[in-house]
Structure 1
Amino acid sequence: MLKSLKIVLLFMVFISAAQAQKIGFVDSEYILNKHPDYKVVQEELQKQADVWKKEAQNLEQEISEMYKALKAEEVLLTEDMYKDRIQAIRDQEKAARAFNTRTFGVNGQYFQKQDELMTPLQSKIFDAIDKVAKRNGIGIMFDKAADLSMIYTNPIHDYSDFVIDELGIEENK
């Protein structure tokens, strides 16, 4: 009985504390798209991705040419020579898969580069969100663009434009 009373009292304290919190949200995707550095980051990342894609295409082209050469010379090759060529092609295919995994796979070079380029920008935005939240007395700030499902949001609680102002970004009208 005493334990359940403590739980009820504790629950009531949490509810009253939660009711006293001012809540707001931002749309980080909207903020990012307004930030001029984001376009620069996207362009730089795309340039690097294009270089890596070209390299991957070159590896695939080499493999294709190796298969064509094998097919053209197949009748002239001994069984051992044929097996050696097949093994060389398989080794090249393995190297191409390793390149793609190392470059575009989970935690690959592409994602590391993206993280490297985005971290400073994200830090600026998070600092601005922190300042806006403190200035407006907001206890809880949600991100509308995150995986959190927000079924309804009243625009009065949207602080995205305050964050854009804090970042010093001029509105293009």
Structure 2
Amino acid sequence: MRKVSVILVLFSMFLFAGDKIGFIDSNRILQEYKGTKDLQKKYNEKINEWQQKAEKMKKEIEELQRQFQTQQVILSETAKARKLQEIQEKQKEYENFLQSIWGPDGEAKKLNDQLMKPFLAKVDSILKKIGEEEGYIYILDISSGVVVYADPGLDITDRVIDELNREFGPEVAGEEKVYFYIAKFKDIGGEAAGSNLGERIKNTILASIKDKENLEQTDLTAISSAMSSEGVVNEEDITQDKALKVAEKTNTRIFVFGNVEKTGEDVTINYFIVNGETASLYSKGTIKTKDSAKLYDDIKNVIVQKIAQLLK
């Protein structure tokens, strides 16, 4: 706090009556820029490739270690040393790869800088134009943490966002798609699995929302790739944490998953609805019934209604 105060005092020494200053929130500009999703998608696609390669390398090392553990009793000392050296070399190769991608000056940072460079250049150009045309002496960025207070009347963030988004043209009602994915619900126990309840619940939800405007199912290949990168083999085994990451990676706003258990006439459904846009759990709950005929009406009245509320 002391450092901030000193900066503000020094800054105020150079201001004179009538000097025009303004401020922006660069975090909000990035969030509301219409091209951000495309930039994020390009970034995530490459990150996913690197993650898959890293996972493959890791599994190769684990397989070599497993083989060594099972074979070491029959290997000669020379063969053991050779195997251990091979494992060490693979481990070193794996560590070097991780460092080359996610290190301080790795490929992930270079990719981010490369994708952000045109965006930052546009922002700089807009700020320069506003500054020169309207006589601003200073335009500060409050997201930097240096400014502890600013009059809202000095905020020009919306103007920068509007100028940035001109390239996308005016918004057309109903044009933007909302991407969703309904995972198969996990069958708990033999009775649920025997009735294939998990798949039937998924299909009931899909059938109930298929005609809703602007809804579009996320590309299945993208979902599969994202799940694989998170170590999810079967979609019904996905957890809340993994669902949030998959939704974020695939630009999926609505991600639904859960489980179902059947004991005699009693059916219990636990559902979870993730909001990928806010990276949070939107809703979760439990549906219980003894009436199988009523079960699917309950799904529509509860889960589908929750999805409809999220779309508003």
What's the TM-score, normalizing by structure 2?
0.48
Q: 1:123 aligns with which of 110, 121, 124?
A: 121
Structure 1 residues 171, 149: CA separation in 2 closer, same or farther (over 3 Å shift)?
farther
User: Which deviations, in whole Å up to 9, do the C-alpha atoms of 1:67-116 show, x marking residues without a partner?
Assistant: 00000111110011101101110000000000000011111111111111
Contact kept, 8 Å, 1:45 with 1:113, in 2: the verdict is yes
- Tell me, yes or no, if structure 1 residue 19 matches structure 2 residue 53: no
- Tell me, yes or no, if structure 1 residue 157 matches structure 2 residue 150: no
Q: Distance in 1 between matches of 2:27 and 2:136?
A: 20
Of 90-99 and 30-39, more deviation after overlay is shown by 30-39
1:107 alignment partner AA: D
Pairs aligned (count): 158
Q: Distance in 2 between matches of 1:128 and 1:82?
A: 64
Which consecutive residues of structure 2, in runs of 5 or more, have no partner in the other structure? 1-11, 174-312
Q: Distance in 2 between matches of 1:171 and 1:159?
A: 21
Structure 1 residues 101, 172: CA separation in 2 closer, same or farther (over 3 Å shift)?
farther
SS at 1:18 equivalent: coil
Which consecutive residues of structure 1, in runs of 5 or more, have no partner in the other structure? 1-13
Contact kept, 8 Å, 2:57 with 2:94, in 1: the verdict is yes
Q: Distance in 2 between matches of 1:158 and 1:142?
A: 9
Contact kept, 8 Å, 2:34 with 2:165, in 1: the verdict is no
Q: 1:36 aligns with which of 22, 34, 37?
A: 34
Report what 2:241 is aligned to.
Answer: none
Q: Distance in 2 between matches of 1:120 and 1:36?
A: 14
SS at 2:147 equivalent: coil
Of 19-28 and 62-71, more deviation after overlay is shown by 19-28
Report what 1:6 is aligned to.
Answer: none
Q: 1:74 aligns with which of 72, 75, 92?
A: 72
Of 22-31 and 92-101, more deviation after overlay is shown by 22-31
User: Which deviations, in whole Å up to 9, do the C-alpha atoms of 1:6-41 show, x marking residues without a partner?
Assistant: xxxxxxxx94x5224321110111111111111111
Structure 1 residues 172, 94: CA separation in 2 closer, same or farther (over 3 Å shift)?
farther
Contact kept, 8 Å, 1:103 with 1:109, in 2: the verdict is yes
1:45 deviation in Å?
Answer: 0.2
Runs of 4+ in structure 1 deviating by more than 6 angstroms, as ranges, are none
1:89 alignment partner AA: I
SS at 1:140 equivalent: strand
Structure 1 residues 82, 168: CA separation in 2 closer, same or farther (over 3 Å shift)?
closer
SS at 1:75 equivalent: coil
Q: Distance in 1 between matches of 2:147 and 2:171?
A: 26
User: Which deviations, in whole Å up to 9, do the C-alpha atoms of 1:116-166 show, x marking residues without a partner?
Assistant: 1110011011111111222221111111122x3322121101011111232
Report what 2:306 is aligned to.
Answer: none
Instruction: Give the superposed CA RMSD.
Output: 1.9
Q: Distance in 1 between matches of 2:172 and 2:125?
A: 23
Contact kept, 8 Å, 1:103 with 1:110, in 2: the verdict is yes
- Tell me, yes or no, if structure 1 residue 109 matches structure 2 residue 107: yes
Contact kept, 8 Å, 1:132 with 1:166, in 2: the verdict is no
Q: 2:93 aligns with which of 78, 92, 95?
A: 95
What percentage of aligned pairs have identical amino acids? 27
Contact kept, 8 Å, 1:25 with 1:144, in 2: the verdict is yes
Report what 1:141 is aligned to.
Answer: 139
2:157 alignment partner AA: S
